[in-house]
Structure 1
Amino acid sequence: MSQTPESSRTTASASAAAPPPLPPPHRMDPGGGCPHAANARLLAAGRSVTEVVLPGEVPGMAVLGHEALKDFLSRPEVAKDPRHFTALQEGRIPKGWPLHTFATVPGMTTADGDDHRRLRSLVTKAFTGRRVAALRPGVEKVTAGLLDGLAAAAADTGDGVVDLRENFALPLPLSVICALLGVADAHQERLHHLSNQVVSTVIAPKEAIAANQELVALLSAIAADRAEHPGDDLTSALIAAREEDGDRLSQRELIGTLLLTIVAGHETTLNLIGNAVRALCADREQLAAVRSGRASWADVVEETLRWDSPVSYFPFRYPTEDITVDGTVIPRGTPVLAGYSAAGRDRAAHGPDADRFDVTRADGPRHLSLGHGAHYCLGAPLARMEAEIALAGLFTRFPELDLAVPEAELPRHASFVGNSVGELPVRLRPRP
């Protein structure tokens, strides 16, 4: 049947009014890599909220813009409990999925409401301002010892080059968090290896399952030892709280809390220290600003958190109903990544020079790299203190410290969750 002029006009009008097609989803690179170029492209295209493809072809979304992320993290209709992860509940997510542990580990980061408040209150006691301040002498002592070891390691090499990540940025926060938890030194290396596999987004399913099982077994053994030989540490306090009315903690929640505390308690600070060192070595004027008193080491830490967030995309949150964030609908049950590295360089929030590292920066909103809302990072005061002490000690002891290879040649950490390099070779002093 032929169309009348009226029907032709109606069809043309409807076609003209149709919304433009959505851009293709952003495919997350399981191998990690530097996130900033992709973030900049997405934000420049107006995609402060974007569809993504997660490992295993799992569909999800990411919130990248500063204001959009702040809004999203504050929404009461956004949950952390994996019961709201539709694909997981429908059996479409295998146990060997690289992000399975992030999504399912029982603890604060996967709890909501009363459960979240109960679990958080048990750990909060270990991270009060008073408790963190009391840790300062110990952190300073560990830092001094590691600086001595760093100098010795550099002296033992033929070219004076040493891996700062392995010899300084890693052992400092790892030893501090393990001491806080009452974990013996003998377990530290294995705990880091296993936690590194937990945060990897490129790990094979079989390896992911094996690492998770070994980590749970090791933490269970540590908890059993603390139960038999309690001390003045967080693990002993958690075990004691399990027996108290109103603060009961299941064995699964205990192990999950230990896992999360160890991973978050050292991986984030490790990346923070390494990222700050790289930034200062790349721009010696910023280092000069600190030495002249125009900026402080605290300023360095905050600018590093904004400019090169130690966590790039943090999994997961799930809308409990369809929600709209900055004009984009996020369907109920979608796994959503919090794009901290993107939000830190969002020009709409931090100005046209958002991609410039500037320790004297005074204007603009506070970064979101340690979270926002109910799930704000409990260990933030400790991470800030450790990083300030580490950077001040490092550049006071070795004022001419510099990268031993060009920035572009540094191998990236194999994860889009953590944002760091896998090695950080430095030369403590110029070549003679």
Structure 2
Amino acid sequence: MDDRTGTPHRLDPAGGCPHAANARLLARGAVAPVLLPGDIEGMAVLGHEALKEFLSHPEVAKNARHFTALGEGRIAEGWPLLTFATVPGMTTADGDDHRRLRSLVSRAFTARRVEELRPRVEELTDSLLDGLERAAAEADGVADLRRHFALPLPMGVIGELLGVDAEYRDRLHHLSNQVVATDIGPEQVVAANRELVALLAEIAAAKTAHPGDDLTSALIAARDEDGDGLAPQELVGTLLLMIIAGHETTLNLITNAVRALCGHRDQLALVRKGEASWADVVEETLRWDAPVSYFPFRYPVRDLTLDGTLIPRGTPVLAGYSAAGRDPAAHGPDADRFDVTRPARPGAARTLSLGHGAHYCLGAPLARLEASVALERLFTRFPHLQLTAPEPELPRHSSFVGNSVHVLPVRPGASAP
């Protein structure tokens, strides 16, 4: 192994802000050895160009049958990342199987369907802003923006899109949070996964018996060109993916964007003056403070050399989105500066935070729509909104997968006339 990588970096199961560690690792190279929970050896791809190459490499797989440690029986049942590795569905499928699953989902999850959601996103946003104002009025002017706004917006949208009744949504968020967490014990992991799978199977059974005009019913009815649909396990795995990705990512994106704008009032002023758009804010937030820090897993199907570093066959590899977003080699010497006017490099996307290649996030247009609507209406309604706690005091996500804070206390101030 290339000696530039040095001693493996032990990922903190409790999460925390990733950027200082990312900078140290990037200074040593674009690829770094890491220790996963249980002292399982892995790698993380941190550099923008290396990650772009890795995400679309033809000899890199997603199916856990390529995971050496799992095949050798070294992964315990309660390992916190086991669901990411083994859940049936698009995120763990390769080749023709992946194309089949993605085709079935994308047919029901079209750009037209997303754009048709815009009026509902706007309506739900305005309703939640009313609730945020009421919550602040009841608590000396301060409310948790994450709880009252950033969470219920994407959870409400994905819930309505999937046809999931509101009574299930709090439980789904709690359980999906457990799946994303990396600091909980084996018994909690096993219990949360079993309950989540059972709950999703219950929802799928209800939709099978009583289909509606929703994505879950469409997925149940969908068939590929050979007449094959989603197997029961694939359906549950797909719902799990869409619920987690459909609200956790957008929840973190909105939270991180609000933190960034409150901490960089000059950048907020540029948007208000029309010198940058709310879409620019979303793109810069995706780059500067990616909602997902280290996403599990991909596995080289043979020994692979990437940016001069050997990644042995069967190694679990994390996509280091938060590191790639601040890679100076790709984004310049000011890569750690939040700048909503930062142009995309010619011929390249500003960020890889929503993936790249065959597994690019199907929900990316919806996440961008929700975040841009949420931010525009939030800061238009509450132009003097401010955080009520210093950034270092905000409690972080209990995970090195998700990248955000657990609460976001704000003082909305008076509504704009």
Post-superposition shift, 1:243? 9.6
Post-superposition shift, 1:245? 4.3
**Structure 2 equivalent of residue 61 of structure 1:** 43
Divergent runs of 4+, >4 A: 18-22, 242-245
CA contact (8 A) 1:179 1:233 kept: yes
Letter in 1 for 2:33: E
CA contact (8 A) 1:127 1:381 kept: no
Instruction: Write the deviation string for residues 306-340 of structure 1: whole angstroms up to 9, x where unpaired.
Output: 00000000000000000110000100000000000
**Structure 1 residues 19 and 195 mapped into 2: Cα distance closer, same or farther (>3 Å)?**
closer
Q: Which moved more, 1:243-252 or 1:131-140?
A: 243-252
Matching of residues 153-232 of structure 1 within 5 Å:
153-157=135-139, 159-232=140-213
From 85, 104, 116, give the equivalent of 2:67.
85
**Structure 2 equivalent of residue 43 of structure 1:** 26
Q: TM-score, normalised by structure 2?
A: 0.97
Q: CA RMSD in A?
A: 1.4
Matching of residues 258-269 of structure 1 within 5 Å:
258-269=239-250
2:310 matches 1:310:
no
CA contact (8 A) 2:2 2:308 kept: no
**Structure 2 equivalent of residue 324 of structure 1:** 305
2:266 and 2:66 map into 1 onto residues whose CA distance is 48
Post-superposition shift, 1:128? 1.8
**Structure 1 equivalent of residue 8 of structure 2:** 25
Letter in 2 for 1:29: D
Instruction: Write the deviation string for residues 363-388 of structure 1: whole angstroms up to 9, x where unpaired.
Output: 53421001000000000000000000
Q: Which moved more, 1:357-366 or 1:418-427?
A: 357-366
CA contact (8 A) 1:272 1:304 kept: yes
Post-superposition shift, 1:249? 1.4
1:331 and 1:245 map into 2 onto residues whose CA distance is 37
From 401, 405, 420, give the equivalent of 2:404.
420
CA contact (8 A) 1:242 1:250 kept: no
2:378 matches 1:402:
no
Letter in 2 for 1:123: V
Letter in 1 for 2:120: G
2:86 matches 1:104:
yes
Post-superposition shift, 1:285? 0.5
Letter in 2 for 1:26: H
CA contact (8 A) 1:127 1:382 kept: no
2:2 and 2:261 map into 1 onto residues whose CA distance is 46
Query: What SS does structure 2 have at the residue aligned with 1:390?
Result: helix
Q: Which moved more, 1:357-366 or 1:238-247?
A: 238-247
2:264 and 2:411 map into 1 onto residues whose CA distance is 16
Letter in 2 for 1:345: R
Q: Larger Cα Rg: Structure 1 or Structure 2? A: 1
Instruction: Write the deviation string for residues 161-208 of structure 1: whole angstroms up to 9, x where unpaired.
Output: 100000000000001001110100000000000000000011100000
Letter in 2 for 1:298: A
Letter in 1 for 2:128: L
Post-superposition shift, 1:417? 0.4
Q: TM-score, normalised by structure 1?
A: 0.93
Post-superposition shift, 1:429? 1.5
CA contact (8 A) 2:2 2:310 kept: no
**Structure 2 equivalent of residue 9 of structure 1:** none
Post-superposition shift, 1:19? 8.1
**Structure 1 equivalent of residue 359 of structure 2:** 375
Post-superposition shift, 1:122? 1.2
**Structure 2 equivalent of residue 147 of structure 1:** 129
Post-superposition shift, 1:241? 2.1
Post-superposition shift, 1:248? 2.1
Instruction: Write the deviation string for residues 121-173 of structure 1: whole angstroms up to 9, x where unpaired.
Output: 1111233221111000010010010000010110111x211000000000000
Letter in 2 for 1:165: R
**Structure 2 equivalent of residue 6 of structure 1:** none
2:84 and 2:23 map into 1 onto residues whose CA distance is 26
Matching of residues 252-263 of structure 1 within 5 Å:
252-263=233-244
Query: What SS does structure 1 have at the residue aligned with 2:51?
Result: helix
CA contact (8 A) 1:97 1:208 kept: yes
**Structure 1 residues 129 and 242 mapped into 2: Cα distance closer, same or farther (>3 Å)?**
closer
1:318 and 1:333 map into 2 onto residues whose CA distance is 5
CA contact (8 A) 1:308 1:344 kept: yes
1:266 and 1:363 map into 2 onto residues whose CA distance is 26
1:71 and 1:295 map into 2 onto residues whose CA distance is 30
Instruction: Write the deviation string for residues 374-418 of structure 1: whole angstroms up to 9, x where unpaired.
Output: 000000000000000000010000000010110110000000000
**Structure 1 residues 89 and 19 mapped into 2: Cα distance closer, same or farther (>3 Å)?**
closer
CA contact (8 A) 1:49 1:328 kept: yes
2:52 matches 1:70:
yes
Instruction: Write the deviation string for residues 226-257 of structure 1: whole angstroms up to 9, x where unpaired.
Output: 01110011111111126984332111001000
Q: Percent identity?
A: 73
Q: Gaps spanning 5+ residues in structure 1: where?
A: 1-17
2:26 and 2:278 map into 1 onto residues whose CA distance is 30
Letter in 1 for 2:380: T
Query: What SS does structure 1 have at the residue aligned with 2:336?
Result: coil
1:184 and 1:86 map into 2 onto residues whose CA distance is 40
Query: What SS does structure 2 have at the residue aligned with 1:317?
Result: strand
